Structure 1
Amino acid sequence: MSIDSLGWGPDLAHAFSAVLSQSSLPLVPGRVVRQARGLLSVQTSGQVLLARTAGRLLHHAPDAEALPTIGDWVALQLPGGGGGEALLHAVLPRRGVLMRREAGSEREGQLIAANLDVVFLMAGLDGDFNPRRIERALSLAWNSGASPVVVLSKADLASDLAGHVLEVEALAPGVPVLTLSAHSGEGVEALLALLPAGRTGALLGSSGVGKSTLVNRLLGEARLTTQAVRADDSRGRHTTTHRELFVLPHGGLLIDGPGMRELGVWGEEEGVGQVFADILALAEDCRFTDCEHRSEPGCAVRGAVTAGTLPQARVDSFEKLRREQAHQARQTDAVARREQKRRERNNTVLGWEAGRAKRRGRD
């Protein structure tokens, strides 16, 4: 397989040349196509190699977000004649980076996938359908820089398919909403049309929404293991334990990974703002510029809720995500300040040591 089929192009070639010019090592380009518990598989031109991150990159990375993830383009050193692992020395500039807040952490981000053109937000039309989860996923997708698409899977199980589509279109204005049944094939062609050859998409959704079933359908073979959802709540069991980039028969590229029940907001306020653009537009007509949309007189948002044109649940979701966003920003700023102070202390100590060494040299 050539790297051209994985999306390699002139911009990446230019970035790789810049890396080569600053290194004396014989490096080659490749793309991370599999990630499993820290182990990476990289597709170069002609072969797939197991690779580990070089110590220098690990040491100089400012945080975990700078380390390689699925979908990354990298520069690596091939293993010696005796085989073994390749060494990954650099990550080429990214675009379309999908992230969430690390589960169980308030100030750490987790990379989900990189170099994405489109993010398919999957929601199953069964007993686990949740519009609020779609809003949360949309905020992450908008912050990634990739184009979001909502995919309503298990369309064959929906009792009110048209009603669900209208509901999602209302909370995701301007975002394509597809209905799909991986078992019957309904909607598959419409999805493929949004992922032409050379473009990279990622599937985002909780366990049980049908991601693995869809990948198998697109590949034309049962590559991934699937399991039935629980009968009591339609929630899935974790079956996929790694992230993998697949080359589809028509040339499109698709990344699948474990289902995620928790989607903590991460990144700039822009994502939440785009998801709730309707509420922000209403807020411009509030009497007070600092209106909190609760009990203030002249609140246009409360007026829309009272008139029945804006669901209270959507306002609650907006406020919840906005509070999470503000809290995450405060935590991140606090960590950045502590890291800056640590660097300043280290620089001061180094300056003292250099001064003492210089004085001893004169003596």
Structure 2
Amino acid sequence: MSKINMENLGLSQRFVTEATLYEGLYIGRIVSQYKNLYKVVTENGGITAEVSGKFRFSVKTMSDYPTVGDFVMIDRNEDIDGNAIIHHVLTRKSALIRRAAGTSHDEQILASNIDTVFICMSLNNDLNVRRLERYLGVAWDSGANPVIVLTKSDLCNNLSGKLAEINTIACGVDVITTSSRNQNGYLPVKKYIDHGKTIAFVGSSGVGKSTLINRLIGENILETKEIRDDDKGRHTTTRRELFVLPNGGIVIDTPGMRELGIESADLTKTFVDIEELSAKCKFNDCTHTHEPKCAVQEAINNGLLSKERFESYLKLKKEVKYEGLNSKQIEKEKLNEIFKEFGGMKSARKMLKEKKKSNRKF
């Protein structure tokens, strides 16, 4: 039986070196997950695996569990005698993270060890630059490089106008357009795919991620559905899955997301234009609201920066700031923000106490 070249699966010397720490175990990469079971590919082929009891006991957060794209150390590299056992997850070089659904602040890792994130958006009424800013913040934070992929260009009546709007917020990110109607409409994405490199596809349901991946693979592996007339895409991909492309490269498909809860985000790269303007403000701690000689407000007044983009920046900054805090901690942060000009809530309370003492004397 011929061996699988693990380099084609993205295995680099970095992971090989770390794997030597775990004697008696074998390295594999997770290509899919269903509940508590994982499909892992090793040099001898695919096997089904589960985490060890010791691993489960040591887990502190949901993000500690293995996920699609992880390189893991397992007790065998052949499909024999039941499920293989995962003992370790090798250190991730990158991770695409969003906030898990619900009221908890757990992280959900959409894909790991990725080199490029394709942020897919349809060039119809689904296009939303504010949502795109959220995706960019999460993508930059992952450690991978984002690329904006605009799909269904054949459905767009004002392509130049849409591109101009997106370029105002892309800030150093490549923007490419594709069309599923044209048999070669997927070719612009191919130049980003290279031997051993991993690309994750993210975006709302129905924007054409699965169609693009099918074209790259060369066969219809993933189910595809058109966006309905109300522009709310149908969920076709229901779980994350990794595919090795015939001509080299690896892609990870992720479930469609209408909303992207932010656990952490790199806003300095997403809003590099605002960060650069902030450096020109008179005051280092400028809030860009009422201070004199505020470069950000001057740019808004002069039409160089849209008010909507600045408001999006403030909204995401606040969202990231409060992530990971419980309701009591969030309330404390908000009060500190309110009393900021008095030196924080603690100083404000001290000032109120002194004022009460002063009033009693009279």
TM-score greater than 0.5 by the shorter chain: yes
Q: What is the match of residue 282 of structure 2?
A: 287
Q: Which amino acid aligns with 1:92?
A: L
Give the Cα–Cα distance (whole angstroms) in 2 for the partners of residues 30 and 81 of structure 1: 13
Q: Which of 214, 217, 229 is matched with 2:215 structurally?
A: 217
Report the secondary structure of 2:21's partner residue: helix
Q: Aligned pair in 2 of structure 1 residues 51, 173: CA closer, same or farther (>3 Å)?
A: same
Task: Go from structure 1 to structure 2 and tell me whether the alpha carbon gap of 1:333 and 1:223 turns closer, same or farther (over 3 Å shift).
Answer: farther
After superposition, where does 1:1-363 map in structure 2 within 5 Å?
1-20=4-23, 26-78=24-76, 83-105=81-103, 107-232=105-230, 234-267=231-264, 271-328=266-323, 330-331=325-326
Other structure's SS at 1:319 match: helix
- 1:168-194 alpha-carbon deviations (Å, 9 max, x no partner): 222012111110113314552221111
- Whether the aligned pair in 2 keeps the contact of 1:36 and 1:241 (CA below 8 Å) is no
> Using a 3 Å threshold, how does the CA distance of structure 1 residues 79 and 95 change in structure 2: closer, same or farther?
closer
Distance 1:107 1:288 in 2: 34
**Alpha-carbon distance in structure 2 between the residues aligned to 1:191 and 1:2:** 24
TM-score (norm 2): 0.85
Alignment check: 8 A CA contact 2:46 2:79 kept: no
TM-score by length of 1: 0.85
**Change beyond 3 A, Cα 1:231–1:321:** same
Shift of 1:105: 3.3
What is the identity percentage for the equivalent residue pairs of Structure 1 and Structure 2? 40
In 2: Cα distance, 1:250 partner to 1:162 partner: 33
Asked whether the 8 Å contact 1:103–1:262 carries over to 2, the reply is no
Aligned length: 327
The secondary structure found in structure 2 opposite 1:19 is coil
How far is the alpha carbon of 1:29 from its aligned partner?
1.0
Aligned equivalents of 1:166, 1:36: Cα separation in 2: 41
Q: Which letter does structure 2 place at the counterpart of 1:315?
A: F
Whether the 8 Å CA contact 1:36–1:243 is kept in 2: the answer is no
Q: 1:73 to 1:248 in 2, by over 3 A?
A: same
In structure 2, distance between residues paired with 1:8 and 1:130: 36
- Name the CA distance, whole Å, in 2 between partners of 1:158 and 1:254: 27
CA RMSD of aligned residues (A): 2.1
Write the distance in 1 (CA, Å) between the matches of 2:327 and 2:183.
44
Mean Cα deviation higher: 246-255 or 102-111: 102-111
Unaligned segments of structure 2, at least 5 residues: 331-362
Q: Which moved more, 1:7-16 or 1:195-204?
A: 7-16
5+ residue gaps in structure 1? Answer: 21-25, 336-363
Distance in 1, Cα, partners of 2:58 & 2:260 = 28
Q: Deviations over 1:22-51 (max 9, x none)?
A: xxxx42111000123332100011211111
